Amino acid sequence: MGASKTRPLELFLSPVDNQYLANLCGALDENLRQIETALDVTITRRGERFTFHGSVAQARRASDAISRFYAKAREPLSVDDIQLGLIELLNQPARAGSAGIDPTSPALITRKSELHGRTPRQIEYLKHIQDHDITFGIGPAGTGKTYLAVASAVDAFERDQVERIVLTRPAVEAGERLGFLPGDLAQKVDPYLRPLYDALYDLMGFDKVTKLYEKGAIEIAPLAFMRGRTLNHAFIILDEAQNTTPEQMKMFLTRIGIGAKAVVTGDLTQVDLPRGHQSGLREAAQILREVRGIAFTEFLKEDVVRHPLVARIVSAYEEHGRKP
């Protein structure tokens, strides 16, 4: 009977700093509740003494999380800080001494000063983008493929490495139905490009994006608008590339001009092309895999950056699906 019980784990933070403790715990200990929910533990605290109840492995993770967050608690830690930090912890449980940003993750100049790769493959992806003229990021939704690509574009623009940012997507979901949507062409395709706008607004700010868009330094357009052009000194991103045809993919890749850098992102499990049509992304991954100067990053479900509770929800559904 007693063997099934787990012994509480205790942690004493040192040196003791009451302001750091307040910044760590958050208002009404909200940050501690976030850690409890994500790691399935119970945390009690008296001053600098923390006690963790739960499985041995999860209690140790929670203790590690508290130590890491305490080291960064010079300023108040928000719920976002806690959730993103937990994602790092869950993806890099064995990394010793990683109380801060992974030193191997490329630094990016954006409005988000804390933006960096949070999983080993995200870090690899950022390095590939910096070191190669063409990079493919392939994997499931939520792995940061598009967001990190846009962040890299903003970084290159801020460092004057490129003169323009060009973001494009195939509007394949609309197909021939575009004509039935209200508004002019720009308004018809806007819903398909909206995620790219949102990423730019988040990383540069609405006013700056609007001004650069008006000056032509930022362009967001459907893939069809790329035909016949050569894009020099630009950072070009093709998003949702699994919905390109082989002809469209070849057309896009041959638009790249002098001093340009391109990133192609997509999820091969979410192809929306009509039945019988091959994905240009799938074909490109086969043809270009060994071409020097082109890099591929294959993301896995472990790289999904999401609310820590989501992982437990997914696990619960998977466990339910295994029941007879």
On the question of pLDDT at 141 being above 90, the answer is no
Query: What ranges in the chain are assigned the alpha helix state H?
Result: 18-25, 30-39, 56-71, 79-91, 120-131, 145-158, 185-204, 206-215, 246-253, 280-287, 308-322
Q: Write out the residue limits of the CATH 3.30.1370.10 domain(s) in the chain.
A: 2-91
Tokens of 317: 């559904």
Residue 179 has pLDDT above 60, yes or no: no
Predicted local distance difference test score (pLDDT) of residue 2: 42
d(CA 235, CA 23): 39
Which of 235, 258, 250 is closest to 280 using CA atoms? 250
Q: Compare 180 and 150 and report the one with higher pLDDT.
A: 150
- The pLDDT of residue 251 is above 70: yes
Radius of gyration of the chain (CA): 23
Taking residues 267-296, report their average pLDDT.
92
CA distances, 303 to each of 29, 145, 306 (Å)? 28, 10, 9
Per-residue confidence (pLDDT) for residue 111, from 0 to 100: 80
pLDDT of residue 92: 60
pLDDT confidence of residue 94: 44
- Counting DSSP H helices and E strands in the chain, the numbers are 11, 9
**Residue 183, SS3?**
coil
Cα-to-chain-centroid distance, residue 83: 14
| Phi/psi-derived region of residue 40, left when phi > 0, alpha when psi is between -120 and 50, beta in every other case | left
Q: How does pLDDT run across 65-106, given as a tens digit for each residue?
A: 999 999 989 999 988 888 878 877 776 644 444 444 556 678
DSSP 146-179: HHHHHHHHHHHHHTTS-SEEEEEE--TTTGGGGG
User: Which pLDDT score, from 0 to 100, does residue 254 have?
Assistant: 93
User: Where are the CATH 3.40.50.300 domain residues in the chain?
Assistant: 120-303
Q: Which has more confidence, 74 or 180?
A: 74
Superfamily (CATH) of domain 120-303: P-loop containing nucleotide triphosphate hydrolases (3.40.50.300)
Query: Beta 218-222 vs 42-46: how paired, if at all?
Result: unpaired
d(CA 85, CA 64) in angstroms, rounded, equals 11
* Confidence at residue 309, expressed as pLDDT on a 0 to 100 scale: 72
For 2-91, give the CATH class. alpha beta
Dihedral (CA of 266, 151, 201, 88) sign: positive
Would the pLDDT of 29 be above 80? yes
